Amino acid sequence: MERLLTFDGKGIYCPRADVHIDPWEKVPKALITHGHSDHARWGMGAYLCTHESVPILQHRLGKTNRIQGIAFGENLFINGVKFSFHPAGHVIGSAQIRVEYKDEIWVVSGDYKLANDGISKAFEPVKCHTFITESTFGLPVYKWQNQTAIFDKVNTWWRKNQAEGRVSVITAYSLGKAQRLINGLDPSIGKIYTHGAIENTNSILREHNHFIQDTQFATASYNFKDYQGNMVVCPPSAANSNWVKKFKDFRLGIASGWMQMRGARRRRAADIGFILSDHADWNGLNTAIEATGANEIYVTHGFSRIYSQYLREQGYDAKIVETAFEGERLDSTEEEKIDQTT
C-alpha cells in the first residue's frame, strides 16, 4: 500500500495530493515550512507557506504571484488530503505541516525549537502517527540555557567592549537568529548597527508588523568613531570577509548552538561564542517527539544515524531519511552552503 508521504529524491512527496514539502528540486507544487534557503528553494511552479512567511519568500525568491499564504491552523484539502500548518517556533513564519488522509496523520516538522523566543510563534505539539524530525543537535551534549541568560552574557560582553573603546560584532543568520538577538540586546548600552542582508530582512518584517528593536544599516558613510562602543550584527559570511575590517578595533562573537563545543569555539577565530540556537536541543527533540504520540519517526538532517538508533532503543520505529536539508551548519553559512545532493 502506498504511504501518505514518501521521499522521492526531490523532497517529501504526497502522491495522493501530488504536492511536495520543502523540495530541493524543481516541482510544480511546493508546501514550504519556512523561509531558510535550504527549505524554500528557487524554481518551484507554486509555493504555499504561512502568511508570515510570504514576504520572506517574496524577498528571497523575487516578487511573484506564485507564492500563496495560509493561516496557522487553517485546513486545506487537496484531492481529499487535509493539510494544515502549525507553529514550529524556529523562525518567524515557520510551521510544521500536518497531513491527514483517512486514518493516517503525518507531521513534517521542518526545523523547530521548543523554547519561546518571543518573535517566532511558539512551537505547538501536534498529535500524529508519523513524525518527521530534524536532528541537527541530536546528541546529549547539546543542552541550551534559556535565552535570557544568554542575552545577559551578550550584553555584559558588549558593555565590557564598550568600556575598552571597541566595537562589538556578532554573527547570526540573517533570518531568525539576527532578529531574536537584536531584540535581546539592551538598547540603553548603545546603537545597534546591521549588515545589509540583515537590515533588508528587518525592514520587510517591520513592514509586516513584527516588532524588531531599532537598528541602523551599517553603510559606508559611517566611520570607526560612529561604531566605537556600539554593536554590529552581521551574517556569518560577513565575518570572514573584508567587510568586517572597517570596524578596525572590534571584538567578534558568534551566536550559534555549535558554540557548545570547545573545539568549535576555538576553531573559529572568534573572541567569544554565545550558545544560542533556533533548533531543538537534545531534551527538546525528545520532548517534542514524545508529545506527538507518534510511533513512527523519520529522522533527517543532523545526527540522524545516532539519534534514530537512540529512538529505536526507546521503542520507536525510527528510520533515517536522506534529505538535502542542512539545518544550522557548523562549517558553512547561509550564503555558502555546500549542495549535499551532489
Interaction between residue 261 and another protein (CB under 8 A): yes
Specify the DSSP element, H or E, that contains 19. strand 19-21
Query: Which of 204, 264 has the CB closer to another protein?
Result: 264
Interaction between residue 273 and another protein (CB under 8 A): yes
Which one among 262, 285, 296, 328 touches another protein, defined by CB under 8 A? 262
Which span sits near another protein by CB under 8 A: 113-121, 158-166, 177-185, 328-336?
328-336
Interaction between residue 330 and another protein (CB under 8 A): yes
Which span sits near another protein by CB under 8 A: 33-41, 54-62, 123-131, 265-273?
265-273
Interaction between residue 271 and another protein (CB under 8 A): yes
Whole-angstrom Cα distance, residue 270 to residue 303?
25
The β-bridge relationship of strands 104-108 and 95-101 is antiparallel
Whole-angstrom Cα distance, residue 178 to residue 333?
13
78 pairs with which residues across the strands?
81
With CB under 8 A, what is the number of residues at the site for another protein? 27
Whole-angstrom Cα distance, residue 42 to residue 282?
32
CB of 131 to another protein, least distance (A): 20
Interaction between residue 66 and another protein (CB under 8 A): no
Whole-angstrom Cα distance, residue 169 to residue 152?
16
Interaction between residue 272 and another protein (CB under 8 A): yes
Cβ-contact 108, 42 below 8 angstroms: no
Whole-angstrom Cα distance, residue 144 to residue 142?
7
Which one among 2, 103, 207, 313 touches another protein, defined by CB under 8 A? 313
Tell the residue number behind the cell numbers 560577513, with chain if given. Answer: 238
CA angle 334, 339, 342 (to 5 degrees): 175
CB of 313 to another protein, least distance (A): 6
Interaction between residue 332 and another protein (CB under 8 A): yes
Rule CB under 8 A: which residues touch another protein? 139-143, 260-267, 269, 271-273, 303, 306, 309-310, 313, 330-332, 338, 340
